[in-house]
Amino acid sequence: MKVFQPKNLNDALDLLAANPDIRPIAGGTDLMVDWHHHDKTDWALMDLSPVDDLRQMSIDDDALHLGALTTYWDVIASRDITNAFPLLTRAAKQVGAIQIQTRGTWAGNIANASPAADGVPVLMAYDAVVHLKSKTESVDVPLDRYFTGYKQSVRTPDQLIVGITIPRKPRTHEWFYKVGARSAQAITKVGVAMVHDDTGWHVVVNSVAPCVCRCNAIETALNANRTFNTPNDIASILKNDIAPIDDIRSTAHYRRTVLARLIHARLKQQEQV
Amino acid sequence: MSIGTDIPRVDGIEKLRGTARYVDDLKIEGILHAGTVRSKIARGRIRKINFDPAINWSEYTIVDHRDIVGPNEIKLIELDQPALVVDEIRHKEEPILLIAHPCPRAIQPALRAITIDIDPRPAVTDPQQKLTPDLVQFGSDNVFKKIDIHKGDPESILQSATRVIKGEYRTGGQEHVYLENQGMIAYHEDDKLVVTGTMQCPYYVLDALTHFFDRPPDAFRVVQTPTGGGFGGKEDFPSNMAIHAALLAEKSGKPVKLIYDRQEDMAATTKRHPGIVRHRTAVDDNGKLLAMDIEVIFDGGAYMTLSPVVLSRGVIHAAGPYNCDNIHVHGEARLTNTPPNGAFRGFGAPQTIFAVERHMDVIADQLGIDPVALRRRNLIKDGDSTATNQPINDGVDRIALMDNTLDVANYHDKIKQHAEFNREHPYTRRGIGFATFLHGAGFTGAGEVWLASEAWVEGHPDGGIEVLVANTDMGQGTTTILTQIAADQLELEPRYVILATPDTSRVPNSGPTVASRTAMIVGRLIEQACDKIVDQTGGQKGAALTEAIQAWHLANPGSRLIGKAKYQKPDVIVWDDEKYIGHAYACYGWATYVADVEIDLRTFNVRVLDFVASQEIGRVLNPTLARGQIQGGVVQGIGWALTEEIVTRDGAMANNQMTNYIIPTSGDLPPIRVIFEESDSPFGPRGAKGIGELPMDGPAPAILNAISHALETQLNDIPMTPEKLMLHMEEQTIGAH
């Protein structure tokens, strides 16, 4: 196993350009899982922790900026960010347990591209933009166009996620719900974030499709002010948006049914307010 | 006197400080690290073993069945389990080859470089599978053991009764999830082979080594290392570990360390027996139990291991704490091509108590009577007898125990409050349920006579006392309570007493640390051994005893002052092992557990909001340790009831990681309120009965009764995962249309 320690961002981008197989790591929380599950021992890793340029986290009137090394805990601990983007903290507190929250990063969660990523639905529902940088160019990709399939993304091997920006704007509805098999140390079986702003509804789901994704059909129906009498009404539209599977953690049927029931109960609750 | 008080754990400080040396912490010069090549399929015949030439195999010690000189048998009840496969594979993860290398990192690549060509054969994956001749692998019918209990004439009553209520109840397997994985070291010292590691029963390991290597017991020394949890998982399996480590040490002539990582441990080691229990019960209109017919089927896995005795405890507890004059229990432990199921806290009783306690609520529902009234009508009263015709006359008021517990849990008010809540809330439902049950203490029937346990208490020249027993502390507090028992019997401060490390070259065979027997059976032997010391030194206790021991040594230089006690069966215990009639256990602990639950109908997640665990256990020896035992057992019971699902592929565990095998976290748990009631039980020290297993029995039926109450349905299957609950509710809704 090789471990590279870049001194600064340029150094890191040079290393990536020269070694396409290199794997950047931030908190290392996904790596530690893979380590155990895979047979591979000839890894090439790049430890980003010395790159202070990636550590910045800032919030102003227009946007929140999370550097690539921003951890879940950094957000939980920030009252300003929690007030402005409550779903970020709500999701962060449900990632693994405190040990994971203090090491795991938002950018790493995106880079790992797991369909069960806990941090991604709320970022996507908030219109997050991913900043990719390589030795030769910088590219901004809206998070809802970042993933291309199971563990696949638009990121090329020479590109590094350097940060994430989330616009501040009035949002009239913000909700996130994670269904795990227990209250901590749980991988999401079904997750959903729902945000409403001046552009309409953002309904983002995880663990029900090859990647975290927006539910366009449901968003369209909601934007058209369609009402749903039963969870089944929602399920019949959702089937265009999601493709859940059976695995050792749950069943496709459960994921599909519970997602519809969660959205239905939430909308009902809103009607009563 | 220290009994009944919280003396600090005698092993607490070294565990808190991290100075306790667990087996994987032991550093031995020149040690080899070991790995196990296993079957990847459930059943088949080995055709060929291939070694990738890219690896320099001369660096490795490699052991297969041809290296075995004695019988290739792991001795337990039957001799059917080989230590290494010869050619017939009976379950996935079955060990075929052992390898060892000085570098621990050389093991995984080598394991991957050995491939095995196997001709697959049809496998039994379900104990109720219809058998074709090519599936028969044990006897004529794959049944390891059949047991029948007969009392009265249930069949004729069931035939003529106006009300017969039936039910089928299923329980899943369970992984122990001890904190410390299985591990064993073997090395030569002088003329002995020393085997040391994490274990519950050093003398079981010694017995297995003696048989396997066909050598006398003094050719071996078995030493327990500090043990991070057992729950039954380290009752029988450490014998397999010991034989494997010893085989490699014998072949290499070097010390060998065999440590399983979590995934290997979960996939390859024993689990709780999955169970299927069917009840047919004749009742009168007031709910009196007229006749009970109970069928128990346990999935034993590929080899017999402990299945007959797990089945025995299961069938004996199957009729619950109820008085009924006509009972038939038929039990079978059957072979399947899965890793052998083994000992797990409760040892068969949680499966059958789940069934009978769910069935009692089903009966109450069908008769339209209160489940409390149903139990009040049928609970054993002094003068009644159990299913094996064991008379109960212990002075415990089981009805009062139930009523008091329900009061503490606010049961009757909550029934009303929940009904109101459930009418109002859009998607949350609340329910409350309970279970009344018993658990026998000590080995079943004549088991203690067969064990013939012995305990020694030695007085040392400095006046200090050492208790020599083979019983192990795996976190439950054995060393502390046995210290308290000896100290009290000798009227000394506990600090004058030490417990010997369980080492078969030093301690007598006081039997295994299982079956809720240590405090009661071994504790009583220690009291008796203490009395022998007192007798030998002039009859004094307390400070005078210390002086008398010192004086004895001055008068008898070089001699050992040892008081010895051997188990003598109390005359009142009479057991017929052929007919299964009589005193199945010396005594029973009695309990009522109440669970208050909440179900989210959006996700079908169940949360236990409050839990009251009340039990009569004779005498509480150390309140903190006793409460810890109960709370730990309740947590394990909550997990078994709701989330701990063994997902299998080819018969072996597929979710063999702590990420995917869902034990509850502290965030998932309710307050667990523990209540003890005490009595003077005549069998244990100061009246103590066993408590280790009891708390495993009650949570699952109490919780499922509570969910059934909340959702106005009957749920007869655990673990009741959200996925299963959702399907059940969907089927019920469809059925209602």
Beta bridge partners of B606: B599
In a domain, A124, yes or no: no
User: In terms of Cα–Cα distance, which of B259, B270, B204 is closest to B23?
Assistant: B259
Q: Is the model's pTM score more than 0.95? A: yes
Domain count across chain A: 1
Q: A249, B660: Cβ pair inside 8 Å?
A: yes
Q: Transcribe B569-620 into DSSP letters.
A: --TT--EETTTTEE-SSSEEEEEEEEEEEEEETTTTEEEEEEEEEEEE-S--
Handedness of CA A89, A94, A98, A100 (dihedral sign): negative
| CATH code at position B38 | 3.90.1170.50
Q: B662, A41: Cβ pair inside 8 Å?
A: no
Rounded Cα distance between B486 and B489, Å, is 5
- B424 and B482 in a single domain? The answer is no
| Secondary structure of residue B281 in the 3-state scheme | strand
Q: Which of B114, B265, B723, B728 to mutate to test the interface with A (most CBs of A within 10 A)?
A: B723
B736 has pLDDT over 60: no
Rounded Cα distance between B196 and B259, Å, is 12
Distance from CA of B659 to the nearest CA of A (A): 7
Q: B665, A249: Cβ pair inside 8 Å?
A: no
Which band of pLDDT confidence, cut at 50, 70 and 90, is reported for residue B597? very high
pLDDT tens for each residue of B193-232: 999 999 999 999 999 999 999 999 999 999 999 999 999 9
pLDDT of residue A43: 84
Which band of pLDDT confidence, cut at 50, 70 and 90, is reported for residue B735? low
Q: Which residues of B touch A181 (CB under 8 A)?
A: 643, 662, 721-722
Beta bridge partners of B115: B50
Q: Out of A185, A254, A261, whose CB is closest to B665?
A: A185
For residue A63, the surrounding DSSP H or E stretch is: strand A63-67
- B77 and B190 in a single domain? The answer is yes
Q: Out of A33, A181, A262, whose CB is closest to B662?
A: A181
Q: Which residues of B touch A249 (CB under 8 A)?
A: 655, 660
Q: How many CB atoms lie within 10 A of CB B399?
A: 17
| Cβ–Cβ < 8 Å for A121, A192 | yes
- B502 and B647 in a single domain? The answer is no
Instruction: Identify the weakest region by mean pLDDT among A25-34, B259-268, B610-619, B652-661.
Output: A25-34
Q: A265, B722: Cβ pair inside 8 Å?
A: no
Length of chain A: 273
Last residue of a domain, one of B538, B566, B594: B566
Q: How far is CA B515 from CA A65, B519, B620, B710, in A?
A: 60, 10, 18, 35
Q: What integer best gives the mean pLDDT of chain B?
A: 97
Distance from CA of B727 to the nearest CA of A (A): 8
Q: How many CB atoms lie within 10 A of CB A49?
A: 14
Which band of pLDDT confidence, cut at 50, 70 and 90, is reported for residue A273? low
Chain A: residue whose CA lies nearest to B668: A183
Q: Out of A179, A251, A253, whose CB is closest to B603?
A: A179
| CATH code at position A206 | 3.30.390.50
Distance from CA of A214 to the nearest CA of B (A): 21
pLDDT tens for each residue of B621-637: 999 999 999 999 999 99
Rounded Cα distance between B144 and B140, Å, is 10
Q: Which residues of A touch B108 (CB under 8 A)?
A: 39, 41
Q: A187, B659: Cβ pair inside 8 Å?
A: yes
Q: Give long-range contacts, CB 8 A cutoff, 24+ apart: A250-255.
A: A250/A181, A250/A189, A250/A190, A250/B723, A251/B723, A253/B723, A253/B726, A253/B727, A254/A189, A254/A190, A254/B604, A254/B722, A254/B723, A254/B726, A255/A189, A255/A190, A255/A207, A255/A208
- Label the pairing between strands B220-224 and A152-153: unpaired
Q: For residue A25, what are its two tokens?
A: 């790591």
Which whole number is the average pLDDT over A79-105?
97
- B429 and B465 in a single domain? The answer is no
Rounded Cα distance between B429 and B239, Å, is 48
User: Residue B302's Cα: distance from chain center in Å?
Assistant: 19
Q: For residue B198, what are its two tokens?
A: 């994490």
Q: B665, A257: Cβ pair inside 8 Å?
A: no
Q: B602, A248: Cβ pair inside 8 Å?
A: no
Q: A39, B112: Cβ pair inside 8 Å?
A: yes
Rounded Cα distance between B737 and B734, Å, is 5
| Secondary structure of residue B565 in the 3-state scheme | strand
Distance from CA of B255 to the nearest CA of A (A): 27
Q: B601, A182: Cβ pair inside 8 Å?
A: no
Which whole number is the average pLDDT over B509-531?
97
- CA-atom Rg of chain A in angstroms: 19
Binding-site residues on chain A for chain B (CB distance < 8 A): 33, 36, 39, 41, 97, 179, 181-187, 190, 248-251, 253-254, 257-258, 261-262, 265, 268-269
- Label the pairing between strands B256-259 and B275-283: unpaired
- B399 and B500 in a single domain? The answer is no
In a domain, B264, yes or no: no
Q: How far is CA A73 from CA A53, A97, A101, B410, B582, in A?
A: 19, 11, 5, 40, 62
pLDDT tens for each residue of B34-68: 999 999 999 999 999 999 999 999 999 999 999 99
In a domain, A146, yes or no: no
Angle (CA) B657-B658-B661 rounded to 5° is 85
Chain B: residue whose CA lies nearest to A190: B603
Kindly give, in sequence order, each residue whose CB lies less than 8 Å from that of residue B529, ignoring residues fewer than 6 positions away.
B455, B456, B457, B467, B563, B564, B565
Beta bridge partners of A171: A197
Q: A261, B654: Cβ pair inside 8 Å?
A: no
Q: Out of B108, B668, B723, whose CB is closest to A183?
A: B668
Q: B662, A248: Cβ pair inside 8 Å?
A: no
A126 has pLDDT over 90: yes
Last residue of a domain, one of B196, B227, B259: B259
Q: How many CB atoms lie within 10 A of CB B315?
A: 29
In a domain, B7, yes or no: no
Chain B: residue whose CA lies nearest to A263: B602
DSSP state, residue B385:
B
Q: A179, B601: Cβ pair inside 8 Å?
A: no
Q: Out of B427, B604, B668, whose CB is closest to A265?
A: B427
pLDDT of residue A32: 84
In a domain, A3, yes or no: no
Last residue of a domain, one of B206, B226, B259: B259
In a domain, A54, yes or no: no
pLDDT of residue B1: 81
In a domain, A145, yes or no: no
Q: Which of B181, B261, B602 to mutate to test the interface with A (most CBs of A within 10 A)?
A: B602
Rounded Cα distance between A180 and B683, Å, is 47
pLDDT tens for each residue of B326-347: 999 999 999 999 999 999 999 9
Q: B603, A257: Cβ pair inside 8 Å?
A: no
In a domain, B268, yes or no: no
Instruction: Identify the weakest region by mean pLDDT among A38-42, A189-193, B364-368, B646-650.
Output: A38-42
| CATH code at position B703 | 3.30.365.10
Chain A: residue whose CA lies nearest to B639: A182
Domain count across chain B: 3
CB contact burial A107-137 (16+ within 10 A = b; e otherwise): bbbbbbbbbbbbbbbbbbbbbbbbbbbbeee
Q: A248, B723: Cβ pair inside 8 Å?
A: no
At residue A66, φ and ψ (nearest 5 deg) are -110, 115
In a domain, B535, yes or no: yes
pLDDT tens for each residue of A75-86: 999 999 999 999
Instruction: Identify the weakest region by mean pLDDT among A34-43, A89-98, B155-164, B714-723.
Output: A34-43
Per-residue 3-state assignment (H helix, E strand, C coil) for B213-229: HCCCHHHEEEEECCCCC
- B214 and B110 in a single domain? The answer is yes
Which domain does A262 fall in, by range?
171-272
Chain B: residue whose CA lies nearest to A36: B263
- B386 and B462 in a single domain? The answer is no
In a domain, A256, yes or no: yes
Distance from CA of A58 to the nearest CA of B (A): 32
In a domain, B142, yes or no: no
In a domain, B53, yes or no: yes
- B102 and B197 in a single domain? The answer is yes
Q: Which of B659, B720, B733 to mutate to test the interface with A (most CBs of A within 10 A)?
A: B659
| Cβ–Cβ < 8 Å for A15, A44 | no
Which band of pLDDT confidence, cut at 50, 70 and 90, is reported for residue A38? low
In a domain, A8, yes or no: no
- B725 and B631 in a single domain? The answer is yes
pLDDT of residue A40: 63
User: Residue A73's Cα: distance from chain center in Å?
Assistant: 15
Rounded Cα distance between B241 and A187, Å, is 33
Q: Out of A41, A187, A251, whose CB is closest to B723?
A: A251
Rounded Cα distance between B33 and A65, Å, is 49
In a domain, A33, yes or no: no
Q: B667, A39: Cβ pair inside 8 Å?
A: no
Tokens 């790591």 correspond to what residue? Answer: A25
Which whole number is the average pLDDT over B397-419?
98
Instruction: Identify the weakest region by mean pLDDT among A201-210, A262-271, B587-596.
Output: A262-271
Which domain does B440 fall in, by range?
275-444+580-736
- B249 and B103 in a single domain? The answer is yes
Q: Out of A179, A182, A249, whose CB is closest to B668?
A: A182
Residue type, B550: Q
pLDDT of residue A39: 62
In a domain, B596, yes or no: yes
Q: Out of A182, A248, A265, whose CB is closest to B655?
A: A248
Q: Out of A181, A249, A261, whose CB is closest to B602?
A: A261
pLDDT tens for each residue of B136-182: 999 999 999 999 999 999 999 999 999 999 999 999 999 999 999 99
Asked whether the ipTM of the predicted complex exceeds the cut of 0.90, the reply is yes
A45 has pLDDT over 60: yes
User: In terms of Cα–Cα distance, which of B717, B701, B719 is closest to B709?
Assistant: B701
Which band of pLDDT confidence, cut at 50, 70 and 90, is reported for residue A272? confident
Which whole number is the average pLDDT over B383-400?
98
User: Residue B669's Cα: distance from chain center in Å?
Assistant: 22
Q: Which of A254, A262, A272 to mutate to test the interface with B (most CBs of B within 10 A)?
A: A254
| Secondary structure of residue A109 in the 3-state scheme | helix
Rounded Cα distance between B482 and B621, Å, is 9
- B553 and B584 in a single domain? The answer is no
Q: Out of B602, B643, B727, whose CB is closest to A181?
A: B643
Q: How far is CA B387 from CA B43, B131, B151, B290, in A?
A: 39, 32, 6, 13
| Cβ–Cβ < 8 Å for B530, B479 | no
Conformational region of residue B558, where left means phi above 0, alpha means psi within -120 to 50, and beta covers everything else:
left
In a domain, B176, yes or no: no
How many contacts, defined by CB atoms under 8 Å, are there between A and B? 66
Tokens 């337990």 correspond to what residue? Answer: B76
Q: Out of A179, A184, A261, whose CB is closest to B667?
A: A184
- B352 and B280 in a single domain? The answer is yes
Q: A248, B647: Cβ pair inside 8 Å?
A: yes
